[in-house]
Amino acid sequence: MSVESVNSRPTTVAGTLREPPVAGGGLPLLGHGPQLVRDPLGFMARLRDDGDVVRIRLGPKTVYAVTAPHLTGALALSPDYIIAGPLWESLESLLGKEGVATANGPMHRRQRRTIQPAFRLDAIPAYGPVMAEEAYALVERWRSGQVLDVTTESFRVAVRISARCLMRGSYMDDRADRICADLATLFSGMYQRMVVPLGPLYRIPVPSNREFNRALADLHLLVDEIVADRRASGQKPDDLLTALLDATDENGEPIGEQEIHDQVIAILTPGSETVGSVLMSLLLVLTEHPELADKIGDEVKRVVGDRPVAFEDVRELTYTANVVVETMRLYPAVWILTRRSVAETDLGGYRIPAGADVIYSPYAVQRDRRSFDRHEEFDPDRWLPGRGGQVPKHAMAPFGVGNRKCPSDHFSMAELTLLTAVIAAAYRFEHAPGSDTRPRIGITLRPRGLKLRALPR
């Protein structure tokens, strides 16, 4: 089904549109809040048994959850749903209000036009050398038998690649560790602010709030430094930062300083958190399925031989790419997405009122037994040519769908495939004491605290 299944002028004939059923298991007063807090992934995954669209009660509030892939696609493609709601509000202190991830309407369309060229398929090869250099720098830092803090290593390489590709310059060497530390503090603090919205209490100067505010101020300062350095250099390399600094608004005027600032943050931040999270899940997969890691090693040997893996090899590393895709199916970094309806809408025959918060979970949709055979099984071969077509439309969308779809899908796939090939060809892994594989469900989904011992192949 497509966008036609969303009708923004629902028929007013009483009884034609159904109210979505209420999800099972709600408690008086608290509703489904306790279930959502206790087991968010399981809760979201079970909702489809209650209906294609269901109502969830969170205290006094009703939230609409969309569970069927044809309707998540219709929702994401419809202009009647915008980016708003608690998830985005909690992100605003970081992302600002003028960046592409939070803007709506004409401003969002203009911003996408500005950033899109940097992510186009034909722009990606130019990033290849940086991606390869960073992938090799990563494995060369590791020593035989060393215990890796996978969270730190993954975020670090993700930040460095996004920043070095999209904002060329040598500033990263001094600033990478600062950006990583700031982002780690901010992401855990923001998730807490989202699930436990205590409002003004977060302004009380206790150590955790002070640390959050310090990291936020430092990240904003860093971005100002990066922009100032670029301007002072007088250089205009062909990159995203140049595109932002030269961007004009609807009237042909240069965009404001605040918008440039928010745009840099809105691109750097999701780019690092998501790629870092998928890389952690990939390292978990390589550890728990050594046979997959061996096959990747064999593919690298066959395609590349003894020379280093280069970006140009990525297209031929099809098995490696399928492992990346299957990892994103079972462990989608963006596990929940939200929208707000701007009008009363008909979504697959259900009435969604104006101003409703609507959520859906790529995690739940991508693990649904109705869409995937052996839905919980890790099987990269399900993505072999000719087989992926059996998957219902929109049932596999780790980068989203529609006008908010991640601009960086090609960039991220190239980056993750290259990283996986370089890592799996160099090392195999085993869990070290204290390795915690449980999912950490925050703004992104990732393993909670992997500690892996790197053993050379």
> Considering the rule CB under 6 A, would residue 359 count as an interface residue with ligand HEM?
no
| 3-class DSSP state of 182 | helix
Quote the least distance from Cβ 126 to ligand HEM, whole Å: 14
How far apart, in whole angstroms, are the C-alpha atoms of residue 341 and residue 305?
Answer: 53
> Considering the rule CB under 6 A, would residue 157 count as an interface residue with ligand HEM?
no
The stretches of 196-312 forming alpha helices (DSSP H) are 207-233, 240-245, 257-288, 290-304
Tell me the backbone φ, ψ of residue 115, rounded to 5 degrees. Answer: -85, -25
Window 105 to 124, contacts with ligand HEM (CB under 6 A): 112
Q: Which listed residue (36, 53, 101, 347) binds ligand HEM by CB under 6 A?
A: 101
The amino acid sitting at 225 is E
Give 340-361 as a DSSP string.
EESS-EEETTEEE-TT-EEEE-
Tell me the backbone φ, ψ of residue 179, rounded to 5 degrees. Answer: -60, -45
> Considering the rule CB under 6 A, would residue 327 count as an interface residue with ligand HEM?
no
- What residues does 358 pair with on adjacent strands? 64, 339
When CB distances to ligand HEM are compared, the closest residue is 271
Quote the least distance from Cβ 307 to ligand HEM, whole Å: 27
Cβ neighbour number for residue 111 with a 10 Å cutoff:
24
How far apart, in whole angstroms, are the C-alpha atoms of residue 284 and residue 378?
Answer: 12
Instruction: Identify which range of 4-12, 47-55, 135-143, 401-409 contacts ligand HEM by CB under 6 A.
Output: 401-409
279 is written with which tokens?
Answer: 């890389």
Binding mask 198-237 for ligand HEM (x = CB under 6 A): ----------------------------------------
Quote the least distance from Cβ 118 to ligand HEM, whole Å: 9
How far apart, in whole angstroms, are the C-alpha atoms of residue 286 and residue 425?
Answer: 11
Q: Which is nearer to ligand HEM, 185 or 444 (CB)?
A: 444
Instruction: Identify which range of 28-36, 245-253, 265-273, 417-425 contacts ligand HEM by CB under 6 A.
Output: 265-273
> Considering the rule CB under 6 A, would residue 333 count as an interface residue with ligand HEM?
yes
Quote the least distance from Cβ 201 to ligand HEM, whole Å: 28
> Considering the rule CB under 6 A, would residue 337 count as an interface residue with ligand HEM?
yes
20 is written with which tokens?
Answer: 């979505």
Instruction: Identify which range of 282-290, 368-376, 400-408, 445-453 contacts ligand HEM by CB under 6 A.
Output: 400-408
Quote the least distance from Cβ 100 to ligand HEM, whole Å: 5
Give 142-153 as a DSSP string.
--TTPEEEHHHH
413 is written with which tokens?
Answer: 């796939």
Q: Which listed residue (35, 322, 412, 417) binds ligand HEM by CB under 6 A?
A: 412
How far apart, in whole angstroms, are the C-alpha atoms of residue 40 and residue 28?
Answer: 19
Quote the least distance from Cβ 123 to ligand HEM, whole Å: 12
> Considering the rule CB under 6 A, would residue 440 count as an interface residue with ligand HEM?
no
Q: Which listed residue (128, 189, 398, 447) binds ligand HEM by CB under 6 A?
A: 398
How many residues interact with ligand HEM (rule CB under 6 A)?
25
> Considering the rule CB under 6 A, would residue 79 count as an interface residue with ligand HEM?
no
Contact in structure between 91 and 188 (CB atoms under 8 Å):
no
Burial of 204 (0-12, 13-18, 19+ CB in 10 A): exposed
The amino acid sitting at 69 is P
The amino acid sitting at 389 is G
Q: Does the CA dihedral 313-267-100-77 come out positive or negative?
A: positive
> Considering the rule CB under 6 A, would residue 411 count as an interface residue with ligand HEM?
yes
How far apart, in whole angstroms, are the C-alpha atoms of residue 441 and residue 455?
Answer: 29
Quote the least distance from Cβ 15 to ligand HEM, whole Å: 33
> Considering the rule CB under 6 A, would residue 407 count as an interface residue with ligand HEM?
yes
Quote the least distance from Cβ 22 to ligand HEM, whole Å: 25
Strand ranges across the sheet with 427-431 = 147-149, 451-456, 427-431
Instruction: Identify which range of 222-230, 274-282, 353-361, 387-395 contacts ligand HEM by CB under 6 A.
Output: 274-282
The stretches of 2-68 forming alpha helices (DSSP H) are 33-38, 40-46
| Residues in CB range of 213: below 8 A, 6 or more apart | none
Name the DSSP letter for residue 12: -
Name the DSSP letter for residue 167: S
> Considering the rule CB under 6 A, would residue 408 count as an interface residue with ligand HEM?
yes
Q: Which listed residue (157, 264, 267, 300) binds ligand HEM by CB under 6 A?
A: 267
Q: Which is nearer to ligand HEM, 86 or 271 (CB)?
A: 271
Quote the least distance from Cβ 112 to ligand HEM, whole Å: 5
Instruction: Identify which range of 37-45, 211-219, 228-236, 407-415 contacts ligand HEM by CB under 6 A.
Output: 407-415
Which spans of this chain sit near ligand HEM (rule: CB under 6 A)?
A: 76, 100-101, 112, 162, 166, 266-267, 270-271, 274-275, 278, 333-334, 337, 398-400, 404, 406-408, 411-412
